[in-house]
Amino acid sequence: MRFHEYGGIEVLRVEEVPRPVPGPAQVLVEVRAAGIQPGEAHIREGALHARRPATFPSGQGSDLAGVVVECGPHVRGFRVGDEVLGFTHRRAGHAQYVLVDDVHLVSRPAGLPREVAGAL
Protein backbone atom coordinates (compact mmCIF):
# COMPACT_ATOMS: atom_id res chain seq x y z
CA MET A 1 0.00 0.00 0.00
CA ARG A 2 1.58 3.26 -1.12
CA PHE A 3 0.70 6.85 -1.84
CA HIS A 4 2.24 9.38 -4.23
CA GLU A 5 0.77 12.57 -2.78
CA TYR A 6 -0.71 13.76 0.49
CA GLY A 7 -4.40 13.20 1.07
CA GLY A 8 -7.11 11.01 2.56
CA ILE A 9 -7.54 7.31 1.97
CA GLU A 10 -8.33 8.03 -1.67
CA VAL A 11 -4.60 8.55 -2.38
CA LEU A 12 -3.72 4.99 -1.29
CA ARG A 13 -2.83 2.53 -4.05
CA VAL A 14 -2.10 -1.17 -4.06
CA GLU A 15 1.15 -1.50 -6.01
CA GLU A 16 3.50 -4.31 -6.95
CA VAL A 17 7.06 -3.80 -5.75
CA PRO A 18 10.06 -6.16 -5.66
CA ARG A 19 10.23 -8.48 -2.66
CA PRO A 20 12.70 -6.96 -0.17
CA VAL A 21 15.97 -8.71 0.68
CA PRO A 22 17.04 -8.68 4.34
CA GLY A 23 20.24 -6.98 5.39
CA PRO A 24 22.59 -8.48 7.99
CA ALA A 25 20.37 -7.91 11.06
CA GLN A 26 17.00 -7.79 9.33
CA VAL A 27 14.09 -10.19 9.15
CA LEU A 28 11.70 -10.46 6.22
CA VAL A 29 8.18 -10.84 7.60
CA GLU A 30 5.17 -11.98 5.60
CA VAL A 31 2.52 -9.72 7.10
CA ARG A 32 -0.69 -11.37 8.30
CA ALA A 33 -2.13 -8.36 10.20
CA ALA A 34 -1.20 -4.69 10.39
CA GLY A 35 -2.36 -1.71 12.39
CA ILE A 36 -2.31 2.03 11.81
CA GLN A 37 -1.73 4.72 14.38
CA PRO A 38 -3.46 8.12 14.14
CA GLY A 39 -0.09 9.80 13.54
CA GLU A 40 0.48 7.63 10.46
CA ALA A 41 -2.80 8.86 8.97
CA HIS A 42 -1.69 12.43 9.73
CA ILE A 43 1.59 11.77 7.91
CA ARG A 44 -0.35 10.52 4.85
CA GLU A 45 -2.58 13.61 5.00
CA GLY A 46 0.46 15.93 5.12
CA ALA A 47 -0.44 17.34 8.54
CA LEU A 48 3.01 16.40 9.91
CA HIS A 49 5.02 17.46 6.85
CA ALA A 50 7.21 19.89 8.81
CA ARG A 51 8.32 17.19 11.29
CA ARG A 52 7.91 13.95 9.32
CA PRO A 53 7.79 14.63 5.61
CA ALA A 54 6.88 11.80 3.27
CA THR A 55 9.17 10.87 0.40
CA PHE A 56 7.01 9.83 -2.53
CA PRO A 57 6.09 7.18 -3.23
CA SER A 58 5.61 6.45 0.43
CA GLY A 59 4.32 3.40 2.22
CA GLN A 60 2.05 3.42 5.22
CA GLY A 61 1.95 1.65 8.55
CA SER A 62 4.45 0.54 11.15
CA ASP A 63 2.78 -2.03 13.45
CA LEU A 64 2.53 -5.58 12.14
CA ALA A 65 2.25 -9.27 12.90
CA GLY A 66 3.27 -12.12 10.65
CA VAL A 67 5.58 -15.00 9.89
CA VAL A 68 9.35 -14.88 9.37
CA VAL A 69 10.16 -15.96 5.80
CA GLU A 70 13.84 -15.00 5.62
CA CYS A 71 16.59 -13.84 8.00
CA GLY A 72 19.77 -11.88 7.44
CA PRO A 73 23.03 -13.61 8.40
CA HIS A 74 23.44 -11.79 11.75
CA VAL A 75 19.86 -12.18 13.02
CA ARG A 76 19.63 -13.73 16.47
CA GLY A 77 16.55 -15.14 18.13
CA PHE A 78 14.40 -15.70 15.06
CA ARG A 79 14.19 -18.27 12.31
CA VAL A 80 12.01 -19.00 9.30
CA GLY A 81 8.49 -19.96 10.35
CA ASP A 82 8.44 -18.00 13.62
CA GLU A 83 5.28 -16.03 14.39
CA VAL A 84 6.26 -12.46 15.33
CA LEU A 85 4.93 -9.00 16.04
CA GLY A 86 6.72 -5.71 15.94
CA PHE A 87 7.17 -2.49 14.04
CA THR A 88 9.15 -0.87 11.28
CA HIS A 89 10.28 2.75 10.88
CA ARG A 90 10.19 2.34 7.09
CA ARG A 91 6.50 3.23 6.63
CA ALA A 92 5.96 -0.19 5.12
CA GLY A 93 3.73 -2.16 7.50
CA HIS A 94 0.86 -2.33 5.02
CA ALA A 95 2.63 -4.63 2.61
CA GLN A 96 2.78 -8.34 1.92
CA TYR A 97 6.49 -8.52 2.86
CA VAL A 98 8.22 -6.12 5.23
CA LEU A 99 11.84 -5.78 6.34
CA VAL A 100 12.12 -5.39 10.10
CA ASP A 101 15.25 -4.88 12.18
CA ASP A 102 15.50 -7.90 14.48
CA VAL A 103 15.56 -5.63 17.55
CA HIS A 104 12.04 -4.41 16.65
CA LEU A 105 10.45 -7.86 16.79
CA VAL A 106 9.23 -10.22 19.49
CA SER A 107 7.71 -13.66 19.27
CA ARG A 108 3.91 -13.60 19.11
CA PRO A 109 2.62 -15.08 22.37
CA ALA A 110 0.54 -18.24 22.01
CA GLY A 111 -3.15 -17.39 22.20
CA LEU A 112 -2.71 -13.77 21.09
CA PRO A 113 -4.68 -13.43 17.85
CA ARG A 114 -2.73 -12.05 14.88
CA GLU A 115 -5.27 -9.25 14.45
CA VAL A 116 -4.57 -8.04 17.98
CA ALA A 117 -0.82 -8.56 17.66
CA GLY A 118 -0.74 -6.49 14.47
CA ALA A 119 -2.18 -3.51 16.32
CA LEU A 120 0.06 -3.58 19.39
pLDDT digits (tens, 9 = 90+) for 54-105: 999 999 999 999 999 999 999 999 999 999 999 999 889 999 999 999 999 9
* pLDDT at position 1 over 90: yes
pLDDT of residue 111: 94
CA of 63: how far to CAs of 50, 52, 74, 81, 94, in Å? 23, 17, 23, 19, 9
Name the helix (H) or strand (E) containing 7. none
Q: What is the mean pLDDT of the chain?
A: 95
* pLDDT at position 108 over 90: yes
pLDDT of residue 120: 84
* pLDDT at position 119 over 90: no
Q: What percent of the chain has pLDDT over 70?
A: 100
